[in-house]
Every structure is written in C-alpha cells, then in structure tokens.
Amino acid sequence: MLLSVKDLCVEFRDKIAVDHVNFEVNENEIVGIIGESGSGKSVSALSIMGLLNDDAKVSGSALFDGKDLSELKVNERQMYKGKEISMVFQEPMTSLNPLMKIGRQVEEVLLLHPEVFSELNEEQRKAKVIETLQIVGLDHPEQIVSMYPHELSGGMRQRVMIAIALIGQPRLMIADEPTTALDVVLQDQILKLLKELNQKLHMSVLFISHNMSIVRNFCDRVYVMQNGHIVETGTPEQIFKHPKEKYTQILIASIPDGTPREDKDDVSDEAVLEIKDFSAFYPKKKKHFFEKGGRVCIVDHVDLTIHAGECVGLVGRSGCGKSTLSKGILGLLKDTEGAVIHHSKHPQMIFQDPYSSLNPKKKIGWILKQPLALRTDLTQDQKNNLVIDTVRQVGLMPEVLDRYPRELSGGMRQRISIAIALVQGSKFIIADEPVSALDVTVQKQILELFLKVQRETNIAFLFISHDRDVVKQMCHRIVYMADGKLSDEEERKEILDKDAPV
C-alpha cells in the first residue's frame, strides 16, 4: 500500500471540512474521489500535500510508504513534495508563474531536490526537462522551454503542469480536477495521457473530480465523498451499477443520461429567429498607428432558423465562435454582415456564471424589476405581480426578493438568472453554458426547470453547452460549430462521440 490516510480531520475556523476520513491508494492504482463542491475532496488532497493555509487545523495521519507525513518536520516534508508525491491543479491558466519561463518552472523541481538530482549538471537537467515535456505530448519542447505561460494555450499549460508533477518521478500524483477547466477534446487528451503515465511509469494517481462519467471510465477504485465524509467506496462497476448508499444513488441518478428528447410536437413551423448568411468580425490588432485596421472573421456565413417552442443545442470547442454568435444574435456586436431577423420581442440571455452575473449590491427584487423599468404599459403593481409570478415559476418563494445574491446558493442564483430572462415574456432565450458551473444534483434540478418552463411557455431556446449528454437531453436539434462555421447535423454524431472520455 502506497498511501494510507487514517482519521483525517480538517477544521477551518468555523466549520469542519473533512471529518474522520480514511482512504488508501495502492501501488500503480488510479483512485478516484468524487463529490460535489464543499464535500472536502480538494481539502483532503491539499492536506496530504501539506498545502493548506495556517488557519486549517489538521489531525489524523497520512502514511506514505509507511512514513507518517503529518509527523515530519517542515523541511523533511518538502523532500516528499514534488519528488515522492506531486500534484496537478485545476486551473492551468493561473497555476504557473506568469513571469518565469516554462523551462525554469519545470527545472525548478530538480533544483529543489538536490538530494536526488544533484549529480545532474545543467545540460542534463535541460535534457531531462525537454524529455519530460515530450512525454506529456508537447511538440517542439526546445522552443517551449524558453516561452512564458501566456504564450501557451490552456491545454498546453495543463501539460506543463503535468510535466512539473512528473519530472521528479513521483510514486503518487494527485490530480485535483485536472480537466475541469478544459474543453472536451483537451479533456480527453489529458486523461489519456494520465492513464498512459500510470501504465508506463507505474505511477499511482489520486484523481479528484466532480465529473461522474470521467471517474467511471478512468479509475480503478472510487470513493464517494459528501459533507466531509466518505460515504461509499468500491470499483466503478459497483458504485455506478449497484450504489448502496442513498447519496450515491441520488448522485448517479443526477447524471444526465443523454436520452434524446422525443417531444417534438410542440415545435411549430413559425420561426422566432432567422439568421441568414451572418458573419461577425473583430478588429485585427494593428501593427502600428497608421496601419489600416484589418479584421478577423469569427463567425463565418452562418445560417440558422429557430422555430417557436424549439430547443436548439449549439456545441463546439472553446474559441470556435459560439459566444460571438450569441452576442451577434442579440445585436451586441459592431462589425457584422448578413441578417439576424427576430420575430419576437425582447430576446434574452442566461449566462454561465451565476455568481458574477448578478449585481452583488442589489436585492433580488430590484434585479428582477430592472428589465421592466422601461415598460410604460405596466403599472407598479402589475410589475410587482409579474416579478412574484416569475419567481414562483422558477420554483422559488417570493421571500427571495428581499435577499441579496450572496445569500443564495448557486442553484438559486441560476434560477434567478432564468427568472430575469423570463420576466419580459420573451419568446426566445439564449442559454450560454447555463449549468456547467453547477454540481450534478443542482444541474439536474436546473435542467428539469428548463424543460418545465419550456413546456409551459413554449419559449424557443438556443442552448450552448459542451456536455453532449446535457445537450442531447435538452434539445430537439443540435448544431455543431467549428472555426466560426456551423456544420449540419450529419456531423453531430461523430463529433459528439469522439469526446467520450478515454
């Protein structure tokens, strides 16, 4: 047994984050920990690495190869970090030092462990850095070593992070949501890489994720965490096919199953939105002041018609032009060609992040009344009643109108975002990744709300998402976007199935 965590408790000033947790990782094993946000999975991982802040009280033991890490002195423990146990973090964009060259950041691990790597001279270290960058699948590593993080894409940065975690030849790699910030195709590549490393280098992986389907396909053994406890453990087969605990059952039932939507009856022939030969451009960066500004085509001759009561899914990798298209539909862009014809009034948009898209200084009631402020055809009383009805429609009590956004949970805030879009009585709404920031159980509730609202009101949706199962379940029709072009539905299957993890 490589790692054995016994009775781990982590307590912050006011709350217990991890409560008497036991788990193990064997040699050459991939172990998954799944749980929703706040379940204590990341805190457990950080405590094994000794990376928690000073205000966290940690008790219990973490035996690594028979040695209790929690009893080591600070400098003894540093010898383990990066060398015996390494860690890959969730945010590749911010986890690298922006002012240090990639090569230096990878090499640093070797320099920090002179007890093992002191016999390497500078050239051998450089060679090892390049070799490691090659292992993680980066092309032209000789060039990458002298680049800075901002010159690399998110996927490349995550590979660099993995190279940093790998170069010390650790026996255990802790990967904390390593693919959550990446789009599906990259996600797939990174997971394949980790699996390969596990098999070739006999490195154990402790894999932390909230994504059930990844854990299911990727791990040898799974722990389910809830509110700081481990509620169930077993092979993916046992956990996903025969969950014993109530919580695990709820969790698994919440996974979108991707059963295609059948009820096409409500879709009428009447169009709410027609996009004809639509292109959108951004100004090209000028080389010098007097250069005539060129432009870059982001959305390229797109045609799309959405009918009343129809839910159209829009799928594509990050940077393909999805968001630009939706901005163009709402008339928020300056430089466009072609036509966007709305056959309904007040098209609305629901955003991804329910935390930052609501004004934190205003009460929910004020926020919800804001879209009605310019309406002169309604009296104050009518407006108030409309707001109360809408709040009820999204499954909340009118009491929330008196609250501030920070007092609501993520799911409640996303309900409010939906209510803002509904309060105008729109017939067409764009939902941009409306559930990807939410936990699975909350995600399920919000998706159900979407379906309910759509059946009740016959609103047409353009539903943007990167989760193929969510889109399948929600939409009557799916269109795929790549490099600014919309592809027809024929290609859908191939592209959506390609991104199945591992």
Q: Can you tell me which of 66, 98, 293, 360 binds other proteins, judged by CB under 8 A?
A: 98
Q: What is the closest distance, in whole angstroms, from the C-beta atom of residue 82 to other proteins in the complex? A: 4
- Only one of the segments 124-132, 159-167, 326-334, 475-483 lies at the binding site for other proteins (rule: CB under 8 A); that segment is 159-167
Cα dist from 166 to 18, 33, 126, 170, whole Å: 28, 21, 15, 6
Q: Can you tell me which of 43, 135, 156, 161 binds other proteins, judged by CB under 8 A?
A: 161
Q: Can you tell me which of 11, 26, 148, 274 binds other proteins, judged by CB under 8 A?
A: 148
In the bound state with other proteins, the residue whose beta carbon lies nearer, of 74 and 374, is: 74
Please state, in angstroms and rounded to a whole number, the distance separating the CA atoms of residues 74 and 139. 37
Does 266 bind other proteins (CB under 8 A)? Our answer is no
Which residue has 């990167």 as its token pair? 466
Does 254 bind other proteins (CB under 8 A)? Our answer is no
Please state, in angstroms and rounded to a whole number, the distance separating the CA atoms of residues 322 and 487. 13
In the bound state with other proteins, the residue whose beta carbon lies nearer, of 165 and 222, is: 165
- Only one of the segments 59-67, 71-79, 273-281, 402-410 lies at the binding site for other proteins (rule: CB under 8 A); that segment is 71-79
Q: Can you tell me which of 3, 5, 62, 96 binds other proteins, judged by CB under 8 A?
A: 96
Does 74 bind other proteins (CB under 8 A)? Our answer is yes
Instruction: Give the torsion through C-alpha atoms of 98, 102, 104, 110, to 10 deg.
Output: 120
Does 279 bind other proteins (CB under 8 A)? Our answer is no
Within 10 A of 496 (CB to CB), how many other CB atoms are there?
19
Side-chain-side CA neighbours of residue 45 (13 Å): 28
How many angstroms separate the first and last alpha carbons of the chain? Answer: 26
Give helix 102-112 / helix 122-135 axis angle, nearest 10°.
120
Please state, in angstroms and rounded to a whole number, the distance separating the CA atoms of residues 449 and 418. 9
Q: What is the closest distance, in whole angstroms, from the C-beta atom of residue 348 to other proteins in the complex? A: 34
- Only one of the segments 163-171, 199-207, 227-235, 485-493 lies at the binding site for other proteins (rule: CB under 8 A); that segment is 163-171
Residue pair 60/7 in contact (Cβ under 8 Å)? The answer is: yes
Binding mask 112-141 for other proteins (x = CB under 8 A): xx----------------------------
Give the list of residues 6+ apart from residue 265 with CB closer than 8 angstroms, or none: none
Does 109 bind other proteins (CB under 8 A)? Our answer is yes
Does 164 bind other proteins (CB under 8 A)? Our answer is yes
Please state, in angstroms and rounded to a whole number, the distance separating the CA atoms of residues 231 and 71. 27
Does 75 bind other proteins (CB under 8 A)? Our answer is yes
Q: Can you tell me which of 28, 78, 153, 487 binds other proteins, judged by CB under 8 A?
A: 78
In the bound state with other proteins, the residue whose beta carbon lies nearer, of 81 and 171, is: 81
In the bound state with other proteins, the residue whose beta carbon lies nearer, of 74 and 397, is: 74
In the bound state with other proteins, the residue whose beta carbon lies nearer, of 40 and 170, is: 170
Q: What is the closest distance, in whole angstroms, from the C-beta atom of residue 77 to other proteins in the complex? A: 8
Does 87 bind other proteins (CB under 8 A)? Our answer is yes
Q: What is the closest distance, in whole angstroms, from the C-beta atom of residue 95 to other proteins in the complex? A: 4
Name the nearest CA neighbour of 3 among 166, 175, 174: 174
Please state, in angstroms and rounded to a whole number, the distance separating the CA atoms of residues 337 and 128. 51
Does 171 bind other proteins (CB under 8 A)? Our answer is no
Within 10 A of 140 (CB to CB), how many other CB atoms are there?
11
Give the list of residues 6+ apart from residue 311 with CB closer than 8 angstroms, or none: 261, 454, 460, 461, 463, 474, 475, 476, 477
Applying CB under 8 A, what is the total number of residues that bind other proteins? Answer: 35
| Chain contacts with other proteins (rule: CB under 8 A) | 49, 51, 74-75, 78-83, 86-87, 89, 91, 94-100, 108-109, 112-113, 148, 150, 161, 164-165, 168, 285, 287-289
